[in-house]
């Protein structure tokens, strides 16, 4: 009889033990990510970062046509011989080869099962050579081949804002303004594998969405193909997602640009915080992260920050200077490679080259060859810099 009772209660005991272990694992996952990354302290120097130390840039004019025009670029992903350009305003993903020749354009707008109303974000599954598109209305993930052919839909239960993929894992976040930040880790079929949690999220206590967007532009994911970097508003940490875990990779001490914690505890009006924000030039949003052999590149609302591994120095820059074209401050991470990329409308690129020629400055290759081609094609220009 006693033996029978033990057998009956054994599943319950195992369930309780499993729950305790699961809770313990979740607690560890939430606490070990805090303040464990490499601390980067900002140098007092402030200047323009010259790219000559990074080698020659790669200049790519994108071939466009009436079926694939580009108004703006929200994300750039690269893999093998292809460049993928997500344009939110055009609601499309253009697929180009490394010379900029248009290969295909994903633009399936509509209400059908193989169509979408709006693209929110995109990433790549490099192992399976697939384009992963996050859609809204209805919320779903759509898979495409690299040639732009539709594969299938994946149903999702949440309205994610952004996604990234690495090592057979897709990461997606939802609400940047909850008490904690959660990132769902999904497998390639959209099945939830784990929920990664960052506790103690801070955010501006102003309910107006416009001011939230202006002063803290949500969370951001950037993939280098092997791992994913994550940053959130009002948090100077840059986190690393790998497998089913999250850890703090870096913590940026930006000195005078740091937002004091007590600022977020005050009862602000819209105008008062805007005035305080502009006067103090606080860095509150980290928009792009790229890590390479030379260091870490971070784009923020207060300019560009670069951590140089060779000098162990973190500096803020107004712009990145190109010997041929001057300085640029609008950069994206080239998701999938240790590169950063800026883009110019053809007209701007042409005018810059013409001014240089008028002042007798030498213009080298590959800019001249692209200039000659751009005169006829009127294509947007991508410029990649290796990090």
Range of lowest pLDDT (26-30, 124-128, 262-266, 382-386): 26-30
What three-state secondary structure class fits 153?
strand
Output DSSP code: residue 190: S
List the beta bridge partners of residue 300: 286, 303
Looking at 18-27, 216-225, 245-254, 365-374, which range is the least confident one?
18-27
CA torsion 111-112-118-123 (nearest 10°) is 170
CA 266 to chain centre: 30
Domains of the chain: 37-386 (2.120.10.30)
pLDDT in tens, 223-235: 987 889 999 888 8
The secondary structure of 224-267, three-state, reads CCCCEEEECCCCCEEEEEECCEEEEEEEEECHHHCCCHHHHHCC
The per-residue pLDDT for 209 is 53
Q: Is 280 exposed, middle or buried (0-12, 13-18, 19+ CB in 10 A)?
A: middle
Is there a contact between 247 and 239 (Cβ–Cβ < 8 Å)?
Answer: yes
Tell me the per-residue pLDDT of 134-157, one tens digit each, with 9 for 90 and over.
998 789 999 999 999 999 999 998
Q: Terminal CA-to-CA distance of the chain, rounded, Å?
A: 71
**271-308 pLDDT tens trace:** 787 788 888 888 988 888 999 988 999 999 888 999 99
Tell which residue, 245, 254, 220, 246, has the closest CA to residue 335.
220
pLDDT, residue 31, reads: 35
Q: Alpha carbon 155 to chain centroid distance?
A: 23
The H helix count followed by the E strand count for the chain is 5, 26
Partners of 313 in beta bridges: 308
C-alpha span between 365 and 353 (Å, rounded)? 12
CA distances to 228, 241, 284 from 249, rounded to whole Å, are: 11, 9, 18
Cβ–Cβ under 8 Å, residues 193 and 169: yes
Q: What is the CA radius of gyration of the chain?
A: 23
185 or 274, greater pLDDT: 185
Residue 218 has pLDDT above 90, yes or no: no
By CB neighbour count within 10 A (0-12 exposed, 13-18 middle, 19+ buried), where does 181 fall?
buried
Sheet of 130-136, strands arranged across:
118-125, 130-136, 140-145, 150-155
Mean pLDDT of the chain: 83
CA angle (39, 40, 43) in 5-degree steps: 150
Residue indicated by tokens 């202006």? 214
Angstrom distances, CA of residue 160 to CA of 121, 170, 276, 303, 357: 9, 12, 31, 27, 48
Do residues 96 and 58 lie in contact, with contact meaning Cβ atoms separated by under 8 Å? no
Cβ atoms 35, 248 nearer than 8 A: yes
Residue 251: the pLDDT is: 95
pLDDT at 1 over 60: no
**Cα 234 to Cα 54, 58, 344, 378, distances in angstroms:** 31, 34, 30, 40
């Amino acid at each position: 009889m006693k033996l029978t009772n033990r057998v009956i209660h054994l599943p319950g005991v195992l369930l309780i033990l499993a729950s305790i272990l699961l809770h313990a694992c979740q607690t560890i996952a939430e606490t070990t990510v805090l303040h464990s990354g490499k601390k980067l302290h900002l140098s007092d120097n402030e200047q323009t970062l010259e790219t000559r130390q990074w080698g020659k840039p790669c200049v790519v004019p994108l071939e466009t046509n009436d079926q694939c025009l580009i108004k703006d670029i929200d994300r750039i992903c690269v893999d093998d011989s292809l460049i993928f350009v997500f344009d939110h305003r055009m609601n499309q993903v253009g697929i180009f080869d490394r010379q900029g020749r248009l290969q295909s354009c994903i633009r399936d707008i509509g209400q059908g099962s193989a169509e979408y109303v709006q693209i929110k974000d995109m990433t790549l599954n490099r192992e399976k050579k697939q384009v992963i598109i996050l859609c809204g209305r209805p919320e779903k993930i759509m898979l495409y081949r690299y040639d732009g052919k539709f594969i299938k839909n994946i149903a999702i239960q949440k309205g994610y804002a952004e996604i990234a993929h690495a090592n057979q894992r897709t990461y997606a976040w939802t609400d940047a303004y909850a008490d904690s930040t959660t990132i769902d880790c999904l497998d390639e079929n959209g099945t939830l594998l784990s929920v990664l949690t960052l506790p103690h999220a801070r955010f501006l206590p102003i309910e107006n969405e416009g001011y939230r967007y202006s002063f803290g532009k949500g969370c951001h994911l950037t993939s280098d193909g092997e791992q994913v970097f994550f940053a959130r508003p009002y948090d100077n940490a840059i986190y690393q997602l790998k497998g089913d875990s999250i850890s703090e990779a870096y913590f940026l001490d930006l000195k005078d640009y740091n937002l004091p914690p007590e600022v977020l505890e005050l009862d602000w009006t819209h105008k008062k915080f805007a005035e305080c924000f502009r006067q103090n030039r606080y860095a509150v949003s980290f928009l792009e992260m790229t890590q390479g052999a030379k260091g870490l590149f971070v784009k923020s609302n207060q300019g560009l920050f670069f951590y140089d591994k060779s000098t162990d120095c973190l500096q803020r820059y107004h712009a990145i200077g190109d010997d041929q074209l001057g300085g640029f401050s609008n950069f994206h991470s080239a998701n999938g490679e240790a590169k950063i990329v800026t883009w110019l409308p053809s007209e701007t690129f042409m005018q810059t080259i013409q001014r240089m020629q008028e002042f007798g400055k030498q213009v080298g290759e590959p800019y001249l060859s692209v200039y000659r081609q751009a005169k006829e094609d009127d294509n947007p220009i991508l410029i990649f810099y290796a990090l």
